[in-house]
C-alpha cells in the first residue's frame, strides 16, 4: 500500500481493528435508507452492534488482512452489494438478523425503485372527491369510478408485480393515496462467526415452524428412548412405569400370584367363570344356586332401563339378551 493515500491506510486499519475486536462480523446494505431513518436505526443498535460505512475495496483489504486470524472471513467479500457497510457485534447471527429485520419500516415508492413484493391497491373508497385524480388512477391501470360522491377503486388490483420497476407516474399516484409499499431498513447480506459464513437465506428462519420442528424432534427422540429403554433424565420415569405395567401384565397372563397381581387374576378368573356360566345357564342343573345368583346379579346390574310401555314378553327377551351381552363383554375385557 506504498502508493495508497494516507487516509485509505488509516481507514483500512480502523476496519481491521473493528473486525479483530468482535466475534461476529457482517456485511450490510444501506442503499436507499434516508439519513434520518438510518440515524434512528443506529440508535436502536446502540450497545448492541457497530456499523461502519466504507468503500468496497477498502473493506476487501481489511478482510484479507484479517483472514490469517479469522479463517474464511475473506469470503464475506462475495456478498458486498449496494451501499456496503460492516456491522460488528457479539450477538449470534440469527439474533442480529431478527433485530435488523424488525427495525425495518414502510416507506414511499420512489421512481425507478424495484418492488420487493407485489404492490396491491385495495378495493374501496379512496377518500378523494370527483376530479382529475380519477383519470390519473385510470391512466396507471387502477380501475376507478365515481360512487356516492367519492372516487372508489372498483376492484383490488396488483399495480406493480414483485421485481418490476416503479414508474414515476405510479410513484406519484401511490404517494397521493398515502400508500407506502416499500420496506426500508438495513439488509444483512452475510455474517461471519467461528470460520462459518451465514447468508441472509440461512438466517431468515420461520420461528413458529422451527419451534414446531424442535418439538416434533423432541417427541420422536423421547419415544425412541422409551421404546429402546435408553434411560435419560427426561425418560427414566416413563421407562420405569412402562416396565412395571408390562411386568404386571405378564404376571396376570401367566397367573403368577403376587400382591400386585392377585386381585386382577381373581377378577379375570371370576369373569371367565361367569361368561362360561352364561353359556350353560339354559341347561337344567348346570348351575348351583350360588352361581346362578351371581350370574343373575351381573345381569341385573348390566340390564338397560326399558320403557314402561314395552310388553312384558319383550321385556324378558331383552333381559336375556342383556345377560348374554354382559357376560360376553366381561369375558372379552379380561381375555
Tens digit of pLDDT for each residue in 117-166?
A: 899 999 999 989 999 999 999 999 999 999 989 999 999 999 999 989 99
Residues 29 and 96 in one domain: yes
Q: Are residues 43 and 99 in the same domain?
A: yes
In a shared domain, residues 24 and 65: yes
Q: Which domain holds residue 130?
A: 119-183
Number of H helices, E strands in the chain: 12, 12
What value, to the nearest 5°, has the Cα angle with vertex 233 and ends 227 and 236? 40
Identify whether residues 218 and 193 lie together within a single domain: no
pLDDT at 323 over 50: no
Which CATH number goes with the domain that contains 174? 3.90.105.20
Q: Which of 151-160, 213-222, 317-326 has the lowest mean pLDDT?
A: 317-326
Q: 162 with 242, same domain?
A: no
pLDDT grade for 235, boundaries at 50, 70 and 90 = very high
Distance between CA atoms of 213 and 219, rounded to whole angstroms? Answer: 10
Evaluate whether residue 224 is within a structural domain.
Answer: yes
pLDDT at position 41? 84
188 near 26, Cβ under 8 Å? yes
How many structural domains is the chain composed of?
4
Do 131 and 280 fall into the same domain? no
- What CATH number is given to the structural domain containing 201? 3.30.70.1730
Q: Is residue 113 part of a domain?
A: no
Same domain? 178 vs 80: no
Report CA-CA distances (Å) from 14 to 8, 11, 17, 274, 332: 10, 5, 5, 93, 83
What pLDDT, on a 0 to 100 scale, did the predictor assign at position 42?
84
Q: Is 55 in the same domain as 98? A: yes
Shared domain check, 156 and 29: no
pLDDT at position 269: 85
Whether residue 324 has pLDDT greater than 50: no
Measured between alpha carbons, how far is 156 from 118 in angstroms, rounded to an integer? Answer: 12
**How far apart (Å, rounded) are the C-alpha atoms in residues 315 and 309?**
10
pLDDT digits (tens, 9 = 90+) for 290-307: 777 777 776 555 544 444
Amino acid at each position: 500500500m506504498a502508493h495508497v493515500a494516507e487516509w485509505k491506510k488509516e481507514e483500512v486499519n480502523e476496519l481491521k481493528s473493528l473486525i479483530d475486536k468482535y466475534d461476529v462480523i457482517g456485511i450490510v446494505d444501506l442503499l436507499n435508507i434516508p439519513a434520518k431513518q438510518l440515524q434512528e436505526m443506529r440508535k436502536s443498535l446502540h450497545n448492541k452492534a457497530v456499523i461502519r460505512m466504507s468503500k468496497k475495496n477498502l473493506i476487501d483489504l481489511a478482510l484479507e488482512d484479517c483472514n490469517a486470524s479469522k479463517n474464511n472471513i475473506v469470503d464475506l467479500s462475495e456478498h458486498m452489494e449496494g451501499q456496503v457497510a460492516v456491522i460488528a457485534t457479539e450477538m449470534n447471527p440469527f439474533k442480529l438478523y431478527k433485530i435488523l429485520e424488525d427495525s425495518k419500516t414502510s416507506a414511499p415508492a420512489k421512481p425507478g425503485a424495484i418492488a420487493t413484493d407485489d404492490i396491491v391497491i385495495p378495493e374501496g373508497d379512496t377518500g378523494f372527491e370527483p376530479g382529475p385524480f380519477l383519470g390519473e388512477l385510470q391512466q396507471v391501470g387502477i380501475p376507478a369510478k365515481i360512487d356516492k360522491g367519492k372516487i372508489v377503486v372498483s376492484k383490488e388490483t396488483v399495480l406493480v408485480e414483485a421485481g418490476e420497476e416503479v414508474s414515476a407516474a405510479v410513484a406519484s399516484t401511490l404517494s397521493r393515496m398515502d400508500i407506502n409499499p416499500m420496506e426500508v431498513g438495513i439488509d444483512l447480506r452475510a455474517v461471519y462467526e467461528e470460520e462459518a459464513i451465514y447468508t441472509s437465506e440461512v438466517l431468515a428462519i420461520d420461528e413458529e415452524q422451527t419451534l414446531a420442528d424442535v418439538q416434533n424432534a423432541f417427541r420422536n427422540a423421547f419415544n425412541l428412548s422409551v421404546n429402546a429403554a435408553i434411560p435419560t433424565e427426561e425418560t427414566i420415569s416413563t421407562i420405569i412405569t412402562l416396565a412395571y405395567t408390562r411386568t404386571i401384565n405378564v404376571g396376570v397372563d401367566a397367573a403368577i400370584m403376587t400382591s400386585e397381581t392377585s386381585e386382577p387374576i381373581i377378577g379375570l378368573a371370576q369373569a371367565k367363570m361367569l361368561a362360561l356360566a352364561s353359556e350353560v345357564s339354559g341347561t337344567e342343573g348346570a348351575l348351583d344356586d350360588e352361581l346362578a345368583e351371581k350370574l343373575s346379579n351381573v345381569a341385573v346390574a348390566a340390564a338397560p332401563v326399558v320403557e314402561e310401555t314395552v310388553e312384558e314378553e319383550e321385556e324378558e327377551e331383552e333381559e336375556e339378551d342383556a345377560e348374554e351381552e354382559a357376560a360376553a363383554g366381561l369375558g372379552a375385557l379380561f381375555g
